[in-house]
Every structure is written in C-alpha cells, then in structure tokens.
C-alpha cells in the first residue's frame, strides 16, 4: 500500500492525501474544501480502480473555476500511482 500527498491547484482544498493498493483506492482525505461533499467523494471512490474513477471526475469544474476538488483528485490519483512502488 502507498500513501501520497498532492498539493491541489486552483481549489479551496489545499492538499489531497491518497492511499492506494496498486490501482485500487483505499482512502482519500482532503485538507480544506466543502467538507460534506469531499467526505462523500471519498466514500464513492473507495474500493474502485483509478482507471475507473479518473475518466468520471476529470474535467469537473466548480463555479467559475476551471477545476474542482474532484478534478484535482484525478491528478492526485495519477501522481500517487506514478510515485508508488508497484
């Protein structure tokens, strides 16, 4: 299992902590952002493959921003997998 902390860009959330077991999402924690929504995202993505989740959440925007916490999560997942010892 690997753990990675990603610095989010352009969102209320400052950091995203990702725990992976291979390509399977074990846990996601957001530092900042909309607490209830981000807890829900964690529950929805747990146990799923990053290959399944990334296409679903990539490109999601928030208000007038070109990104969102969910969109930033997709980048965090990619970085976490790339930096893990698989």
Number of domains comprising the chain: 1
- Domain extent, residue 17, equals 2-83
pTM of the model: 0.94
Q: What per-residue confidence (pLDDT) applies to 86?
A: 61
pLDDT tens by residue, 63-77 = 999 999 999 999 999
For residue 26, give the CATH number of its domain.
Answer: 3.30.390.50
Token readout for 11 is 């969102």
What pLDDT does residue 58 have? 98
38: which residues sit within 8 A by CB, 6+ positions away?
13, 30, 69
Dump pLDDT digits (tens) for 14-62.
Answer: 999 999 999 999 999 999 999 999 999 999 999 999 999 999 999 999 9
């Amino acid at each position: 299992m690997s753990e990675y902390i990603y610095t989010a860009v352009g969102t209320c959330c400052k950091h995203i902590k990702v725990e992976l077991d291979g390509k399977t999402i074990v846990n996601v924690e957001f530092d900042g952002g909309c607490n209830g929504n981000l807890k829900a995202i964690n529950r929805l993505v747990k146990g799923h493959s990053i290959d399944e989740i990334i296409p679903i959440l990539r490109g999601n925007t928030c208000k007038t921003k070109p990104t969102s916490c969910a969109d930033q999560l997709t980048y965090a997942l990619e970085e976490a997998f790339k930096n893990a010892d698989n």
